[in-house]
Amino acid sequence: DIGSPDYLGLSFPFDFGGDTWGYSTNDVSQNLYYQAEVDMSGLIYGVTYYGRNIFSNYADLPLKTWVAQTDASSLSEGWQSVDDFTLLSEDTLEIGPGIMEPLFVYFDPPILFSNLSNLNFQHFLENSEWPPAFGGIWASTGEGPERVVSLLNSLEADPIDHPDFYGSHTDHAYTTFVIQPITQSANISGTAFDENNIEFESVEVNVEGQPVEAITDAIGEYSLLPLPYSSYTVTASILGYEDNVEMVELNEPEVTVDFQMIPKPQIDINALVVGSDAPSSPLDMVNISTDGYENYFSVTESNGVLLLEDVYGNAEYHITFSKYGYLDSTITVNVQDLPLDLGTIELQQEFLSPYNVTAALGADVVNVAWMDPITSVKDRFQTDSDVTWFSYTNEPNENVWLGNRFENDEPVTLQSVEVFWDIYFLEIGLVTMEILDENGEVVASSLPFETARDTLMTIDVPNVTMNGDFYVMVHWQDNPSNTHALRLDRSMGITNNAYIKYPGQTPELVSDFLGVPDGSFLVRAQVLKEGPNTGNSPLYYNIYSGAPNDMANVASWDLLNTGPIPFLDYQDVPSNNGEVMYAVEAIYEEGVSEPSFSNMLGFNVGMDDLSNIIGLKLYPNPAEGIARLELSLFQEEKIKVRILNALSQEVKSYPEVISNQMNETLDLVHLDAGIYWIEIQIGHELTTKKLALR
């Protein structure tokens, strides 16, 4: 027995109250027992806890148990790494009515305990039966270091990906160890030799499943701590040599195990690296890294050749090829004892977008300029520490924004936004991700998307350029229920940039609005900004103009250029009144990038003076052979339509009609590709629309 039944505990190692106390039935805990408490070597067949069930029913408790042998004397730093643990059992316990009901956790196979370390048991109770039992497990009062960490009745209780928060305790469960003692022990010692039978220094010798290891000294000798009589797997290892594994039976006080170390083969790996846009042209300055038995790094030469020399064989490696402007490529290879030719590695071209698009109004034209994507670098705005302390969501039917304000002192082009939803079982909602300028005015919005519980999502947003601070915010509206909640980080020293906004108001810090601690939402922005020139520019560009509230439909915007543009600027003579934005897309050998958007400009080219007009549409634009002109007026009037070329010469006209509407199909098949003007005379008033013909 370890400890005594001093009181009925509710916090460890698990409870059997279902979700009576929280949002979930899941419990996870780690429980430290000291070497001096066990005080013997032997086979541990299990442990028994003692529960009290006040109810009269029986309840099943599905339990998984892991063990780690550890030198740690405290769990004050939190969870021990899951990598240290070995799964012992998956069993269903039963708790019945009673004051001291035994709960025996059976280990199959038993633990061979050498009494050379402390023991840490990790328990995970998942989806316990309903109706639950009610009570607790008898606990022993402890003084000294924290030896239990636990999280009970929580959706975050996870034995593999430990939660960021937990309770810690100096008390522990009253526990009975079921152990078969082994009273005799043996010493393992010996010598390691290299391939020339010379004593080998710095070879590591360890015993599988036991907390014992040794390093050979200057004359190749080692000695392990005594182990109970049993069978063991003993391994000698050193970088560059094959592991030497010996099965050892301990049945006498002194056992000698010598190791002959055999070197691994060393071979060369080579490849030719090309891009998918020009497979006949090699790629230089491609970065190569390996992950495996040993890590290697290299860069392709000017002829695109990769050479990794003296790579250790008889091992598996993951080789990653990366170059800006291309998608990373990772291959897995099993290296043996012969040189390896990987052949030709083709990297897929990445269609990077133009960035830092600007539109400036000149005397008679708009000057649109942008940056070559290959001079960009990807960056990320993140102020949270990837830790969740709290979360917020909407009230039913509430029109509200929640998100972060990011400080920024250089032009950046938004590409996407990461958002992390909390664990609680709320309703799926339909929301948008919106970009706001430093004054809190909406600049761009994503398409509507659904929230998703306990999910990290990446949301595409229009590629708008921001020149100062900006907000990235989730916008709720017209959701009849509380939707999944947005995670918030309140770690010590966190940047206080979590904001809330309501219609017609400027954003306000959540900490001020609610009187709560500083915080940052788990909302991050992915951007392009100016970086080094790394080659592989686009071939050409297309430029469009359209309404800022229609950024999702750039395909229907006016194409301004008659042919692809090889330059980084364009001059436009605006033909539409109102608010206008420009979009630029890069044309590559194998595809087209997403468009990037300029700032917004306002124009008045005379249509506002047409007092009789209700609506005017010309589509598609650009057109191929046929376009539609739709016009509606408040009252009947003479309507006459002419088509003019870029030199203002008439190329086609339509008969005058008297009507309050026109729905005309414009037959353009006989016209050459280029820019045309559709002139519309309504009584004594005149307006024009630009049309691009492909």
Local confidence band at 132 (pLDDT 50, 70, 90 cut-offs): low
Q: Which residue has the higher pLDDT, 518 or 578?
A: 518
Q: Cα 173 from chain centroid? A: 38
3-state secondary structure 386-414: CCCCEEECCCCCCCEEEEEEECCCCCEEE
Give the right CATH number for 7-181 from 1.20.120, 2.60.40, 2.60.120, 1.10.3470.
2.60.120
CATH class, 185-260 region:
mainly beta
Q: What is the pLDDT of residue 608?
A: 44
The two tokens of residue 630 are: 């739709």
- Could you report how far apart the first and last alpha carbons of the chain are, in Å? 87
pLDDT in tens, 48-92: 999 998 887 888 889 999 999 999 999 999 999 999 999 999 999
Residue 189: count of CB within 10 angstroms of its CB: 15
For residue 252, pLDDT beyond 80: yes
For residue 607, pLDDT beyond 50: no
pLDDT in tens, 281-335: 999 999 999 999 999 999 999 999 999 999 999 999 999 999 999 999 999 999 9
Q: What is the pLDDT of residue 342?
A: 97
pLDDT in tens, 497-544: 999 999 999 999 999 999 999 999 999 999 999 988 776 789 999 999
Assigned CATH topology for domain 355-372+537-603: Immunoglobulin-like (2.60.40)
- Asked if the bond preceding 595 is cis, omega within 30° of 0, the reply is no
Q: Mean pLDDT across the chain, nearest whole number?
A: 91
Q: What is the pLDDT of residue 133?
A: 65
Of 1-5, 190-194, 610-614, the one with minimum mean pLDDT is: 610-614
Q: What is the pLDDT of residue 564?
A: 84
Q: Give the mean pLDDT of 20-36.
A: 81
7-181 and 185-260: identical CATH topology: no
Question: How does DSSP assign 298-353, residue by residue?
Answer: EE--TT-EEEEEEEESSEEEEEEEE-TTB--EEEEEEE-SS-EEEEEEEEPBP-PP
pLDDT in tens, 140-178: 998 889 999 999 888 788 999 998 888 999 999 999 999
Domain boundaries, the chain: 7-181, 185-260, 266-347, 355-372+537-603, 377-529, 607-693
Q: What is the pLDDT of residue 678?
A: 87
3-state secondary structure 67-119: EEEECCCCCCCCCCCHHHCEEEEEEEEEECCEEEEEEEEEEEEEEEECCCCEE
pLDDT in tens, 196-219: 999 999 999 999 989 999 999 999
Q: What is the pLDDT of residue 82?
A: 94
Q: Give the mean pLDDT of 356-375.
A: 88
Decide: residue 89, CB within 10 A, 0-12 exposed, 13-18 middle, 19+ buried.
middle
Give the right CATH number for 377-529 from 2.60.120, 3.40.50, 2.60.40, 2.40.160.
2.60.120
Q: What is the pLDDT of residue 282?
A: 95
Q: What is the pLDDT of residue 610?
A: 56
Q: Give the mean pLDDT of 587-610.
A: 77
Q: What is the pLDDT of residue 687?
A: 79
Decide: residue 198, CB within 10 A, 0-12 exposed, 13-18 middle, 19+ buried.
exposed
Q: Give the mean pLDDT of 326-346.
A: 96
Of 283-287, 347-351, 487-491, 547-551, the one with minimum mean pLDDT is: 547-551
Q: What is the pLDDT of residue 605?
A: 44
Of 27-41, 69-83, 372-386, 616-630, the one with minimum mean pLDDT is: 616-630
For residue 45, pLDDT beyond 90: yes
Helices (H) and strands (E) in the chain, counts: 2, 56
Q: What is the pLDDT of residue 164?
A: 81
Of 180-189, 248-257, 558-567, the one with minimum mean pLDDT is: 558-567
pLDDT in tens, 391-437: 999 999 999 999 999 999 999 999 999 999 998 889 999 999 999 99
Local confidence band at 17 (pLDDT 50, 70, 90 cut-offs): low
Q: ∠ at Cα 279 (275, 281), nearest 5°? A: 85
Give the right CATH number for 607-693 from 3.50.50.60, 3.40.1160.10, 1.10.10.10, 2.60.40.2550.
2.60.40.2550
The residue whose two tokens read 């400027």 is 506
User: Pick from 62, 49, 51, 26: which is nearest to 134 by CA?
Assistant: 51
Q: What are phi and psi of 560, to 5 degrees?
A: -90, -35
Q: What is the pLDDT of residue 96?
A: 86
Q: What is the pLDDT of residue 54?
A: 84
Q: Give the mean pLDDT of 666-685.
A: 85
Query: Is CATH 3.30.565.10 correct for 266-347?
Result: no
